[in-house]
Structure 1
Amino acid sequence: MIVLTGGGTGGHLNIVKCLLESAVKKNLDCIYIGSENGQDKAWFANEERFKTKYFLSSTGVVNQSKLKKLKALKHILKLSFKCQKIFKEHSIKAVISVGGYSAAPASFGAIFAGIPLFIHEQNSKSGSLNSFLKPFSKSFFSAFEKEVIPYPVGEDFFTLARERKELKTIIFLGGSQGAKFINNLAIKLAPMLKEKGVKIIHQCGREDYELCEKAYKELNINVDLFAFHNDLASKMEEADLAISRAGASTLFELCANTLPTIFIPYPYAAKNHQFFNAKFLQDRALCQIFTQEQCQNEMTFLNSIFTMNLKYISQKLQGITQKNGADLMLERVLNSL
């Protein structure tokens, strides 16, 4: 039996989901250790394919005062001892961390207990926890490293991939929690896109759903608006172009779906990792990147929307990632035990 740990946001949790699906195919039993905070419980509290789940009172350490950091670290240490008891109870053979603050207790617990720790880093710039734990890990997986493991992406994104040729539909993606800037941009551009006959799909997040719904009604524009969708691949399939944040999970889902994208990286992401995630594609001439400031020039932004070589980018995106990222990760883990 193995432990899958980590989360906090949809990007981390998507990887847990992919690894769980791969483990089920291999008849490999898993337990999940996450946090009471963040999105962990919303994703997995009712997930019956885990043998059991533990949601601990873990919290983040980054951007805290020195005193709060010390208190948080002391609490993580306490929780790591609790995790060691969990490992012993379930005869755990390995711990796979996908990062995020909710991965800290089980990751430290694995090190203290002498259980092999495997880490997946989702971003081009490693997070603080993963950077610290990397020297203590048995293996470190990343789609951005020299020794590449394909990023774990749900099979439906590959299955619903298609070549884009003509701009008929745009999808705005703000990530699992939505993004106010992208929401406001979508509403601002909506009249001009409607004038050009372009349909809009908009993932706005739960917090801004009512505001966005009201704004589109006032504009008298019919939009496929949703807060969150369990079948995002089908929404991507409808689109010919995406305007999106650049979280790693979203980026590789877009690649798997061969959907050309204009990325607007979240400017306050740790180590500016969203910019460097998108730069991975920009360096291959397979996306465009706009800062939030650059988006203020509406004519330049609109020109980019309507002049992207959709067919070329869509074709080339097919070679960026592959289906079996989670399977390869688990095979590496099992072969090294």
Structure 2
Amino acid sequence: MPKTSENLVEVTKPQIVCYVGGKSGGHIIPCLTEAKKLKANNQLSTVLFVSTKAPLDQKLIVNEPTVDYHLAADLEEFPYKNIWDYPKFIISFVKTLWQCFNFLRTHKPEKIISMGGHISIPVALTGKLLGIPVELTELNVEPGQTTKVLAPLANKVFVVFEESKKYFPSKEPILINYPLKSSLKEKMINQNLAIQKIGLKPNKKTIFVMGGSQGSQTLNTAIFELFKNNPELKTQIQVIHQTGESDLDFANIFYAKNNIDALAFKFSSEIELFYSAADLIISRAGAGSMFEIKSLGKKCITVPLEIPGNNHQLYNALAMAKELPDQFVVVRQSELSKLKDLI
């Protein structure tokens, strides 16, 4: 039985804790969710947060009242095979180490909690230098690169999938519940009322397409092609479509031109209304989305992002489908032509 997410911080008096994550809502939102719960329970006195300067990071953190002190560090994206960008990256890494050192030394957190993202590496390194305990929470089945790098330095490792334990044989990882927003189920409403509020029709099947915090062009294109190749679907189906920023204008034009009942938006941190309206969800397989959908019992076709050397979404999707085969169906990116039969 997983421990509750509150077990991430076991204290007898309120603590100062530094959370770190960046470049993805999948890293940042669980940190903020956990911090809100713990602060509300008087387990935290002060919440620090270190992120990157990415626009999404700023949008999620800057106006979040739970966060008392925020450092938006100067760390550049890791250049991988682009050797010409390594000097710029190294300079930014050294600068970020100095920023983190000053931030942590000034605010004196009693622990650092990382939920992923490369920004966690300089924070954890400077934390260890200052004698601050580091705790890692791996939110996917297969650990990300950051978790693998930092695991030897970690005082504790937490996981949300039982399958993840095998990756940390020397750390005795602790299984916990995924840190879901407590408001998720509280904000769910009657489906017909949700459809009415959105401005869609009560007599059509409603599909909610979720591409993750930054959207998915692959998933967006698959949905557009589905309607292009099967125009009769527009009489049966309506769409709530989280496109990400780059495809939003195209989606609005496409749905209007083809007379398809739809609501498209780039990102929303308050998606309970859309969950409430949905008969079926088509989603990427980020851990946060998977656990939210699981908790709501909604039927889901999951299309995991597959990148050479990084298939964590595929493992998330397969784990969910194995546990709940009547709720989750996995469709690989090479099998998107199957969508029509599954809808």
- TM-score under structure 1 normalisation? 0.82
Which amino acid is 1:18 matched to? T
| Matching residue within 132, 141, 148 for 2:175 | 148
Once the 2 structures are TM-superposed, how far is the Cα of residue 161 of structure 1 from its aligned partner?
6.1
Which amino acid is 1:117 matched to? V
| Matching residue within 179, 200, 219 for 1:182 | 219
The number of equivalent residue pairs is 300
Q: Deviations over 1:173-227 (max 9, x none)?
A: 11111111211222233434323x2322111112111101111111011212212
Alpha carbons of 1:10 and 1:131: their partners in 2 closer, same or farther (altered >3 Å)? Answer: same
Residue 103 (str. 1) matches residue 120 (str. 2): yes
Distance across 2 between alignment mates of 1:47 and 1:159: 20
Which amino acid is 1:149 matched to? I
Alpha carbons of 1:17 and 1:35: their partners in 2 closer, same or farther (altered >3 Å)? Answer: same
Once the 2 structures are TM-superposed, how far is the Cα of residue 156 of structure 1 from its aligned partner?
2.8
- TM-score under structure 2 normalisation? 0.80
Q: Deviations over 1:27-66 (max 9, x none)?
A: 3111111111352112112223221111010123263445
Once the 2 structures are TM-superposed, how far is the Cα of residue 21 of structure 1 from its aligned partner?
0.9
Residue 287 (str. 1) matches residue 328 (str. 2): yes
Distance across 2 between alignment mates of 1:302 and 1:118: 44
Residue 2 (str. 1) matches residue 43 (str. 2): no
Alpha carbons of 1:155 and 1:193: their partners in 2 closer, same or farther (altered >3 Å)? Answer: farther
Between 73-82 and 32-41, the greater mean CA deviation after superposition:
73-82
Residue 115 (str. 1) matches residue 142 (str. 2): no
Distance across 2 between alignment mates of 1:43 and 1:270: 29
Distance across 2 between alignment mates of 1:279 and 1:269: 17
Q: Deviations over 1:115-141 (max 9, x none)?
A: 100111121111111101112111111
Q: Is the 8 A contact 1:172 1:202 kept in 2?
A: yes
Between 125-134 and 149-158, the greater mean CA deviation after superposition:
149-158
Which amino acid is 1:154 matched to? K
Residue 138 (str. 1) matches residue 155 (str. 2): yes
Which amino acid is 2:38 matched to? A
Residue 82 (str. 1) matches residue 91 (str. 2): no
- Secondary structure (helix, strand or coil) at the match of 2:256 reads helix
Indicate the residue corresponding to 2:6 in structure 1. Answer: none
Kindly report which structure 2 residues correspond to 1:1-337, keeping only aligned pairs within 5 A, or say none.
1-27=16-42, 28=44, 29-37=46-54, 39-61=56-78, 63-65=80-82, 68-69=85-86, 72-73=89-90, 75-144=92-161, 145-146=164-165, 147-159=174-186, 168-190=205-227, 191-195=231-235, 197-268=236-307, 270-284=309-323, 285=325, 286-295=327-336, 297=337, 300-305=338-343
Once the 2 structures are TM-superposed, how far is the Cα of residue 74 of structure 1 from its aligned partner?
5.7
Q: Is the 8 A contact 2:207 2:239 kept in 1?
A: yes
Between 77-86 and 18-27, the greater mean CA deviation after superposition:
77-86
Which amino acid is 1:32 matched to? F
Identity of aligned residues (%): 25
Between 39-48 and 183-192, the greater mean CA deviation after superposition:
183-192
Higher relative contact order (CA 8 A, sep 6+): 1
Any stretches of 5+ residues in structure 2 without a counterpart? 1-15, 166-173, 192-202
Distance across 2 between alignment mates of 1:148 and 1:77: 34
Q: Is the 8 A contact 2:282 2:302 kept in 1?
A: yes
- Secondary structure (helix, strand or coil) at the match of 1:100 reads coil
Distance across 1 between alignment mates of 2:132 and 2:241: 44
Distance across 1 between alignment mates of 2:220 and 2:269: 19
Q: Is the 8 A contact 2:204 2:238 kept in 1?
A: no
Q: Is the 8 A contact 1:245 1:264 kept in 2?
A: yes
Distance across 1 between alignment mates of 2:249 and 2:223: 15
- Secondary structure (helix, strand or coil) at the match of 1:101 reads coil
Q: Deviations over 1:132-151 (max 9, x none)?
A: 11121111111113442111
Once the 2 structures are TM-superposed, how far is the Cα of residue 159 of structure 1 from its aligned partner?
3.2
Q: Is the 8 A contact 2:74 2:95 kept in 1?
A: no
* CA RMSD of superposed structures (Å): 2.4
Q: Is the 8 A contact 2:188 2:273 kept in 1?
A: no
Q: Is the 8 A contact 1:157 1:256 kept in 2?
A: no
Any stretches of 5+ residues in structure 1 without a counterpart? 306-337
Between 64-73 and 80-89, the greater mean CA deviation after superposition:
64-73
